[in-house]
Structure 1
Amino acid sequence: MLVAGLLPVGAAETLHNGIVLPSPWPPPRTAKQMTSGEPMPVPYLAQPPAVIPVDVGRQLFVDDFLIESTTLRRRFHRPEYHARSPVLRPEMIWEKSTLFAFAAPFSDGVWYEPKDSTFMMWYRSASVRTCLALSKDGLNWTRPALDLLGTNVVLKSNRDATTVWLDHDAANPAERFKLFEARTKKSPFHVALRTSPDGRQWSEELVVSGPSWDRTTFFWNPFRRVWVASVRGHDHTAPEPVHRLRNYFEGKTAAAALAWTQHTDQVARGNGLPNDLQPWVGADRLDPRHPDPRFNKLPPQLYNLDVFPYESLSVGLFTIWQGPDNETCKTLNLHKRNEVLAGFTRDGFHWDRANRTPFLPVSEDPKAWNAGNVQSVGGGCLVVGDRLYFYCSGRTMHPTDVGATGLATLRRDGFASLDAGATPAALTTRPVRFTGRHLFVNVAAAQGELRGEVLDSAGQVIAPFSQENCPPLKTDQTLAELKWRGAADLAKLAGQPVRLRFHLTNGSLYSFWVSPDANGSSRGYIAAGGPGFTNNVDTVGAAALTAARNLPASSSPQAK
């Protein structure tokens, strides 16, 4: 029987970037492939489209998908923890227990609500409650009184991981916020769906999933308009049992994304069924191991995978478990070492993870708020002017067991840059097609310069779009327009395959995009939103920079 909202097996799709999905979708994988220790192959990098449409979002250089040739050097970047971290600590009675104190998202979510210009954070308390904190600047958080007792508790349940998603496309305003709650009333775990018009008052459980494990999360894939479950799985068939990996399930509606019937253990044993849970991804041999010699022989495992859409692709926040096991942690009075690494996918399933440096690392200071167990949040990040805000949880055992919420910030589009030194270097894209008019870049070249040119299918410069006619950009801006003398814009090139070539000296190039608007809107997805944006798509361009500058002065994203 086909559950309403499920996708038919084998339906072929062409994505916004020209990638054609194979049939069947999702593509078959086995638990053995997930636990082989080998990185996941990425078909669209081996065989990219002949012409890549670039109308959706800023085009990031996190991989070679867009690049035909280059003499620039790729450099990956990670956020820096804000000097004010942690920005939320356990302070209230319900955030403390006799065993530990906790006030941090366990995925949950941090979102920007454009209706009242408010940052909203859902988090877990020590009493296993779901709580809500609010902020006008992303740094200073308050706990609204939401019940007769004056607490900020929005749900009382036997929860584990929870994902909150602000659904800007919800047809019913009462379902604008969606909450997926991994909980257990009796073994095994299941996930329950609730909805809310405002993120404060939540419905009863509307739908309950098939059997799962605790650390199960969800996300919306807007490129294919499907909800996806990132379901924690086990594999006890491996020579060394793997307790943490990911299975995949999707549906056209949030309810349909919970309609699997199999237990993850069945999938691991090779008993998977079509249109049910499918093996997805696990840790591999390139992931970091625990630096402590007592634990560095433990193979890393994938503790969690939070996913979010950013501009023209999806970003995965891979929480990599490095040990030790829970009993050893209890005996030695320490926390497991979980660190968050970043990965990228352009088809929503296959992950390119070229950089294995922790994106949100633990601190090597045992007294630091993030000495152990750093984990990501639902929604991924917020776009605050020129910066991306990544919230995360962290834990310490000094002086007692405390879990708190930290903030790390990164340049917008700053996951990776292509760099040039004093010797001029260049990048030529694969053939691309656009319908926009204005070419924008995110570039740091205050001590150098960036110029551009446009080539035809034969590799010849299209007049007047030559390097010589392009006034150099000598600037450090996340939104800057490249122009040419003799042409008002790129309108006459719209719809035809062209190559873009960038010439850079003493600088870093992060992204490019062709906008229909002079304000530089990208028409890409902006993760969990941010000041100045009206929904989950960038339709405002430079206006978002102005909105961020108008935040309270204390919110300036200075990092250490």
Structure 2
Amino acid sequence: MIHWVLCTILLGNPISSPLQEEPIQVPVGQRQLFLDHGCIAQLQDLHSTMHQPVKRGAVIRPDAVSDGSRVQTYGSVPLWVPDEQVFKMVYMAFPMENHGEIGAALAISKDGLHWEKPDLGQGVSVRGSTTNNRIFVDRKLHWGDNALWNVIYDADDPDPQRRFKGLLGAIGRTPVVSADAIHWTQLVGTAIPSHDTSTLTYDDQNHRFLAVLKTFNRFGRAAALSTSPDFRIWSTPSPCFSTDDLDQKIAREVIRNRIHDRRFTVPLFVDPEPKTDAGPTTGRIPTWRAECYAFSIFPYEGVYIGLPMVYYPTGEELPARNNSDGFHSIQLAMSRDLTTWNRLGDRGEFIGPSPIDKGLIGVFDRQELIPPSRPVLRGDELWFYYTGLKTRIPPYSRNSDGTARDPASLTDEERDDLADGWSAICLAVLRRDGFVSLDAGPMPGTLLTKPFVLEAEKLCVNLDATAGEMTVEVLNNNQQTVCCSKELPGNHPRTEVSWKSGHLAGLKGETVRLRFTLTNSRLYSFWLE
């Protein structure tokens, strides 16, 4: 299936002189993607396309009594537990009528699609019942000290009591560990400063834990990074990612387009568009700009991929004027050093809101979208579990002037929508390596790689040539063709290249290049085996 195309950039000229380049590293088994020009020497008549994952809808809904109307995560994803042969997902449940009952909960699944919420036997009453799936790190803690946002599974930890790891607290973070994701122990170590959002992942490329924390700069909300080799002692957070001046220029058009597009939910509170870039003409909460509300980082095939949760505040929240209304989009970025980030897709939506033009019920990801810490690899697909909220302001609670809305004014559909819940955990599926492809039309296009030392005997590709074909040549240090592949048609998330002339086995240890020729096809990645 071809995913939604977000941006197309024609690439026709050499990126650099191929004769002047030093060999790059192409480790055996590591897929080479086209998120930047890391492996590319020349492109001719190809264009680069960023793709969106295909949405599968809500998979964890607020359907347990103890859930209330709102379930969500900040970064936690389904964790495969080999010993139990199940996925476990830790999420936060929000009975909004009683903040004292907000807390962490556990869902379990065998397939990642159908989820159960088991009675954990903790014996604590939530919404009048002690039968629930609630997790209590410390029963003395209440919202938000009990917020268990970020949970990962560390199969390599030699101590089985530390296999599950998480960060505890809504303001500030404390490292916690568990053997079963139910019973948790707080670690004595470094307290990690953060505001109400954070994400956590394990960097298996460099054997360290990455905590992305919420901070602030001149553009508003931003992200900082703290790292740890042992999950106990953490580095001082340093700035990691932020929106910039270009985002602020783009924000005006993004907000303007959104509030005039009736296919999508429009925030309840919308200030008049400011006449200058200084923010709103009244009040004290800046609006009509772009902020990085949260940021997820995960290592992927030798690079880091980032999921900025970009927030577009549209208006001050009334009547208090102490926060803002607005909407989110999940965008895409990449880095090789966690410092310099390349924004992909012209800063467009990687995962955007779902339309409501066919009805409200079941459409949770309308206004706020919260990214996962990383996707879950399922065969040849990447599964992104993200949180979708119908509104930022509690739904149908207020009028546009900030006064309380009369429940009698709700339509039948609005009442059903309210009963359906405020938020859910949703799923979107992407082809493995399918973030960016190099595409050719009817005219053949070519990709020449940078030189590298060949350390394998097989070349594999992730290719969609349903309507065309691809061939590959292997060039030696003198730019001479020493291997030529057979034509490869069809759609192949992973396949080995077959050779018409020559073979790779006789070239091991030599410096080579690859020249791909594509016709009516998309190339997502290549790798050596």
TM-score over 0.5 for the alignment? yes
Alignment-derived partner of residue 175 in structure 1:
162
Alignment-derived partner of residue 506 in structure 1:
520
Asked if residue 283 in structure 1 is aligned to residue 220 in structure 2, the reply is: no
**Kindly tell me: are residues 169 and 495 of structure 1, through their superposed partners in 2, closer, same or farther at Cα, counting changes over 3 Å?**
farther
The equivalences for 1:278-317 within 5 A come to 278-287=238-247, 289=251, 290=255, 291-292=258-259, 294=270, 298-317=288-307
Indicate conservation of the 8 Å contact 2:241/2:295, yes or no: no
**Normalised TM-score (structure 1):** 0.72
Count of aligned pairs between the two proteins: 431
Counterpart code for 1:459? Q
Deviation at 1:252, TM superposition (A): 1.6
Say which SS state the counterpart of residue 108 (structure 1) adopts.
coil
Alignment-derived partner of residue 26 in structure 2:
54
Deviation at 1:164, TM superposition (A): 1.0
Counterpart code for 1:245? A
Alignment-derived partner of residue 65 in structure 2:
93
1:453-507: CA deviation from partner (whole Å, max 9, x where unpaired): 1112232212xx12xxx111111010111121455x5233333321111111111
Alignment-derived partner of residue 3 in structure 1:
none
The equivalences for 1:72-111 within 5 A come to 72-82=46-56, 85-96=57-68, 101-111=69-79
Distance of 1:136 and 1:449 partners within structure 2: 38
For structure 2, the 5+ residue unaligned runs are 1-14, 95-100, 124-129, 261-269, 275-287, 396-413
Deviation at 1:372, TM superposition (A): 1.1
Distance of 2:206 and 2:445 partners within structure 1: 36
Indicate conservation of the 8 Å contact 1:194/1:206, yes or no: no
The equivalences for 1:198-213 within 5 A come to 198-213=180-195
**Kindly tell me: are residues 329 and 230 of structure 1, through their superposed partners in 2, closer, same or farther at Cα, counting changes over 3 Å?**
farther
Alignment-derived partner of residue 438 in structure 2:
418
Counterpart code for 1:474? P
Match of 1:324 among 296, 314, 322: 314
**Kindly tell me: are residues 207 and 286 of structure 1, through their superposed partners in 2, closer, same or farther at Cα, counting changes over 3 Å?**
same
**Kindly tell me: are residues 506 and 210 of structure 1, through their superposed partners in 2, closer, same or farther at Cα, counting changes over 3 Å?**
closer
**Kindly tell me: are residues 486 and 364 of structure 1, through their superposed partners in 2, closer, same or farther at Cα, counting changes over 3 Å?**
closer
**Kindly tell me: are residues 302 and 461 of structure 1, through their superposed partners in 2, closer, same or farther at Cα, counting changes over 3 Å?**
same
Distance of 2:388 and 2:320 partners within structure 1: 17
Match of 1:371 among 358, 366, 371: 366
Alignment-derived partner of residue 120 in structure 2:
146
Deviation at 1:434, TM superposition (A): 4.1
Indicate conservation of the 8 Å contact 1:423/1:505, yes or no: yes
Counterpart code for 1:175? R
Bigger strand fraction: 2
Alignment-derived partner of residue 285 in structure 2:
none
Say which SS state the counterpart of residue 94 (structure 1) adopts.
helix
Asked if residue 134 in structure 1 is aligned to residue 154 in structure 2, the reply is: no
Say which SS state the counterpart of residue 233 (structure 1) adopts.
strand
Counterpart code for 1:302? C
Distance of 1:182 and 1:321 partners within structure 2: 22
Match of 2:458 among 423, 438, 443: 438
Indicate conservation of the 8 Å contact 2:313/2:324, yes or no: no
Deviation at 1:330, TM superposition (A): 8.1
Deviation at 1:433, TM superposition (A): 2.8
Distance of 1:338 and 1:329 partners within structure 2: 22
Indicate conservation of the 8 Å contact 1:108/1:161, yes or no: no
Bigger shift: 411-420 or 110-119?
A: 110-119
1:198-235: CA deviation from partner (whole Å, max 9, x where unpaired): 32322234435143322122222222222222121123
Distance of 2:151 and 2:455 partners within structure 1: 35
Counterpart code for 1:454? V
Asked if residue 247 in structure 1 is aligned to residue 221 in structure 2, the reply is: no
Distance of 2:92 and 2:450 partners within structure 1: 46
Bigger shift: 48-57 or 85-94?
A: 48-57
Deviation at 1:364, TM superposition (A): 4.0
1:306-357: CA deviation from partner (whole Å, max 9, x where unpaired): 11122232211110010136724988x9963011111111223321113111
Alignment-derived partner of residue 266 in structure 1:
none
Counterpart code for 1:352? N
Indicate conservation of the 8 Å contact 1:161/1:215, yes or no: no
The equivalences for 1:4-83 within 5 A come to 50-55=22-27, 57-71=30-44, 72-82=46-56
**Kindly tell me: are residues 395 and 228 of structure 1, through their superposed partners in 2, closer, same or farther at Cα, counting changes over 3 Å?**
same
Distance of 1:137 and 1:326 partners within structure 2: 42
Match of 1:360 among 334, 339, 351: 351
**Normalised TM-score (structure 2):** 0.76
Distance of 1:198 and 1:435 partners within structure 2: 41
Distance of 1:429 and 1:314 partners within structure 2: 21
Distance of 1:227 and 1:357 partners within structure 2: 29
Counterpart code for 2:221? R
Distance of 1:160 and 1:324 partners within structure 2: 28
Indicate conservation of the 8 Å contact 1:161/1:216, yes or no: no
Counterpart code for 1:353? R
Alignment-derived partner of residue 402 in structure 2:
none
The equivalences for 1:155-554 within 5 A come to 155=136, 157=141, 158=144, 159-160=146-147, 162-183=149-170, 189-235=171-217, 238=218, 242-257=219-234, 260=235, 276-287=236-247, 289=251, 290=255, 291-292=258-259, 294=270, 298-324=288-314, 327-328=317-318, 336-355=326-345, 356-365=347-356, 367=360, 368-378=363-373, 380-396=374-390, 397=395, 399-400=417-418, 402-462=422-482, 465-466=483-484, 470-485=485-500, 487=502, 490-515=504-529
1:88-111: CA deviation from partner (whole Å, max 9, x where unpaired): 111222211xxxx11222222222
Deviation at 1:77, TM superposition (A): 0.2
Distance of 1:67 and 1:329 partners within structure 2: 54
Distance of 1:168 and 1:135 partners within structure 2: 18
| Structure whose alpha-carbon radius of gyration is higher | 2
Counterpart code for 2:160? P
Say which SS state the counterpart of residue 492 (structure 1) adopts.
helix
Deviation at 1:46, TM superposition (A): 10
Counterpart code for 1:491? A
Distance of 1:49 and 1:361 partners within structure 2: 39
Counterpart code for 1:167? D
Distance of 1:212 and 1:381 partners within structure 2: 23
Distance of 1:80 and 1:91 partners within structure 2: 24
Alignment-derived partner of residue 279 in structure 2:
none
Indicate conservation of the 8 Å contact 2:476/2:511, yes or no: yes
Say which SS state the counterpart of residue 58 (structure 2) adopts.
coil
Distance of 1:347 and 1:168 partners within structure 2: 25
Distance of 1:58 and 1:103 partners within structure 2: 35
Indicate conservation of the 8 Å contact 1:161/1:214, yes or no: no
